[in-house]
């Protein structure tokens, strides 16, 4: 499937630079309730000046430039400037540990890093090599680098409007592999174009839409759904300032399209129930005229009264929550996608969605099931491969170009996909983050007073672990003093382990269990490999209770 050059992201940006010159492109919170509005003309002028500066550095075409920042207007302007200068952008999550930052920068052979707004710059700074040049954008805590404002004040804007082939590399998006080491998915400009057109097909996105950007732009979902749609349609993008101001940010934006992970939809619901008990609210909403008034009031308070498309994805959302939002007037549309697919494998169609299903194949994606039920996908928005990793690319792709997703699925009579499980050990939390258990288990297993452990947590906010004691130790630790001492030691070790992990990998708790995981009990294979599905099924009914205990070490009673 070929793409018309006019649909590519740089061409669209140049189009809106003229067509919507005086229309707002960004609304950026600056702190303390102050916001800065930027028109297309203003934002593109700054982008052109930064592009000219980056080009003046003389890096070879295709050199990698990293962006390490929370979501801001300068994040997207940096992305555009990097492309215009003939380089490739490498997004870095704004909350990674320094070791992971360094891995990505070194593996991608990044030449320069653009550093922006971060919650903990000091902890991430050691990940940047001392000799790597950096640029700091507004709202950045770093003070030792050349600043964005100084550069644009002293650099003339790029006059040319460079364009590149559809399959030219635009970005390398790093995602964690099963070994815990980052893998860089290579995407061309066409990935942005194909997915933008797919959303036009499914939900009729248009120039008059508004969106709030708050999920990390380093994540492919925000890149596709917010940046990609903004560039394609020229729509107005608002940014969130912080978690504390999120409701005010949402009320300011009053988005027409809003995508969130399941955890936040649940939090919205919990916040409403704190103000009014669920049973009373349901009763009021069931009254014909009054119910409509109540629904409108709730949606207005949430900043969702203009919302025509409400999306969810990255992890399952409980059907009960989906049903409740439908009563409120929001048909939450589930979708499915991975970094390798540029986040657009399936999408639910308004009026045709089915709870528990992630929708039909997007127009830029083919879907089928393997003989074992694994979801396989193929399409022009898929990655070109993993950067400098041909072996891993070959492992992930079939000989005829199908991506092996690692997810197990089923397809209904209307072609809607349901994710029913995972073929790989890697799993997603309810925040939509992938967790590879083996490296974490290796770290936790360094505590010699436990014999085996297993990391779990699919659909929970944070992963957690189960720990098995050596034979006879459970009985020995029934003594209060002995248990207290053991608990303190395990708690200290857990803190040490968590300090070595990225935020989304950190263990919420460790549950110490009394059972022995043996071949005879069916918990392990003859070669003593833990049967994850058996162990998780055995303890599954206790997961919620353990999480609610709010203890870092939980003792399970058989």
Q: What is residue 401's predicted lDDT score, i.e. its pLDDT? A: 92
Distance CA 383, CA 230 (A): 21
Q: Is 329 helix (H, G, I), strand (E, B) or coil?
A: coil
Q: Which residue's entry shows tokens 């397809």?
A: 411
The two structure tokens encoding residue 122: 């000091």
For 195, the enclosing helix (H) or strand (E) is helix 189-203
List of the chain residues with pLDDT < 50: 177-179, 526-527
Q: What is residue 333's predicted lDDT score, i.e. its pLDDT? A: 94
The Cα angle at residue 219 between residues 444 and 325, in degrees rounded to 5:
95
Q: Does domain 434-555 have CATH number 3.30.1300.10?
A: no
For strands 385-386 and 403-411, give the pairing. Answer: unpaired
Ramachandran angles phi, psi of 64, nearest 5°: -95, 130
Distance CA 511, CA 355 (A): 33
Q: Encode pLDDT of 439-494 as tens digits.
A: 788 789 878 788 889 999 988 999 999 999 988 889 999 999 999 999 999 999 99
Distance CA 535, CA 459 (A): 17
List where CATH 3.40.50.980 sits in the chain. 5-233
Q: What is residue 361's predicted lDDT score, i.e. its pLDDT? A: 96
List where CATH 3.30.300.30 sits in the chain. 434-555
pTM of the shown model: 0.80
Strand partners, 522: none
Distance CA 14, CA 82 (A): 15
In 3-state terms the chain splits into helix, strand, coil percentages (rounded to 5) of: 40, 20, 40
Distance CA 215, CA 415 (A): 29
CATH node for 5-233: 3.40.50.980
Q: What is residue 6's predicted lDDT score, i.e. its pLDDT? A: 96
Q: How far is CA 297 from CA 272, 303, 376, in A?
A: 11, 10, 43
Exposure class string for 347-386: b at 16+ Cβ within 10 A, else e = bbeeeebebbbbbbbbbbbebeeeeeebbbbbbbbbbebb
Strand partners, 386: 185
Q: Is 247 helix (H, G, I), strand (E, B) or coil?
A: helix
Q: Encode pLDDT of 43-53 as tens digits.
A: 999 999 999 99
Options 3.30.1890, 1.10.3470, 3.40.50, 2.40.160; CATH for 243-364+412-428 is 3.40.50
């Amino acid at each position: 499937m070929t793409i018309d050059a006019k649909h590519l992201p740089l061409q669209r940006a140049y189009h809106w630079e003229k067509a919507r010159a005086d229309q707002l492109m960004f609304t950026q919170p600056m702190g303390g309730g102050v916001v800065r509005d930027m028109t297309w003309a203003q934002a593109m002028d700054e982008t052109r000046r930064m592009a000219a500066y980056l080009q003046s550095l003389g890096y070879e075409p295709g050199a990698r430039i990293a962006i390490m920042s929370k979501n801001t207007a300068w994040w997207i302007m940096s992305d555009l400037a990097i492309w215009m200068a003939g380089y490739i952008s490498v997004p870095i999550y704004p909350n990674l540990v320094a070791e992971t930052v360094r891995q990505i920068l070194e593996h991608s052979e990044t030449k320069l890093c653009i550093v922006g707004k971060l919650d903990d710059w000091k902890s991430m700074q050691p990940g940047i090599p001392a000799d790597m040049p950096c640029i700091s954008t507004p709202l950045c805590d770093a003070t030792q680098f050349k600043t964005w404002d100084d550069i644009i004040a002293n650099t003339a804007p790029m006059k040319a409007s460079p364009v590149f082939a559809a399959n030219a590399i635009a970005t390398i998006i790093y995602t964690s592999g099963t070994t815990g080491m980052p893998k860089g998915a290579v995407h061309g400009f066409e990935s942005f174009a194909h997915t933008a057109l797919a959303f036009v097909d499914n939900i009729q996105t248009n120039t008059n839409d508004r969106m709030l950007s708050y999920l990390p732009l380093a994540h492919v979902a925000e890149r596709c759904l917010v940046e990609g749609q903004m560039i394609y349609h020229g729509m107005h993008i608002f940014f969130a300032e912080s978690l504390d101001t999120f409701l005010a940010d949402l009320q300011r934006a009053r988005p027409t399209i809003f995508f969130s992970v399941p955890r936040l939809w649940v939090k919205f619901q919990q916040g409403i129930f704190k103000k009014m008990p669920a049973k009373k609210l349901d009763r009021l909403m069931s009254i014909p005229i009054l119910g409509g008034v109540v629904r409108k009031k709730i949606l207005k308070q949430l900043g969702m009264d203009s919302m025509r498309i409400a999306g969810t994805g990255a992890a399952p959302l409980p059907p009960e929550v989906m049903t409740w939002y439908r009563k409120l007037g929001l048909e939450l549309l589930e979708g499915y996608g991975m970094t390798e697919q540029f986040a657009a494998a399936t999408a639910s169609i308004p009026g045709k969605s089915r709870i528990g299903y992630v929708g039909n194949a997007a127009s830029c994606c083919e879907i089928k099931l393997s003989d074992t039920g694994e979801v396989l996908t193929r399409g022009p928005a898929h990655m070109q491969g993993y950067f400098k990793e041909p072996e891993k690319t070959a492992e992930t792709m079939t000989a005829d170009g199908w991506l092996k997703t690692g997810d197990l699925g089923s397809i209904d009579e209307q072609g809607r996909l349901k994710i029913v499980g995972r073929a790989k050990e890697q799993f997603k939390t309810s925040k939509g983050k992938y967790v590879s258990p083996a490296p974490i288990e290796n770290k936790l297993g360094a505590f010699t007073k436990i014999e085996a452990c297993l990391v779990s947590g699919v659909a929970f906010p944070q992963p957690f672990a189960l720990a098995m004691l050596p034979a006879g130790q459970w009985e020995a630790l029934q003594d209060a003093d002995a248990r207290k001492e053991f608990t303190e030691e395990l708690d200290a070790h857990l803190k040490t382990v968590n300090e070595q992990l990225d935020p989304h990998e950190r263990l919420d708790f460790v549950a110490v269990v009394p059972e022995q995981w043996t071949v005879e009990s069916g918990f392990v294979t003859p070669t003593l490999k833990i049967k994850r599905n058996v162990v998780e099924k055995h303890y599954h009914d206790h997961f919620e209770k353990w999480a609610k205990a709010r203890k870092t070490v939980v003792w399970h009673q058989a």
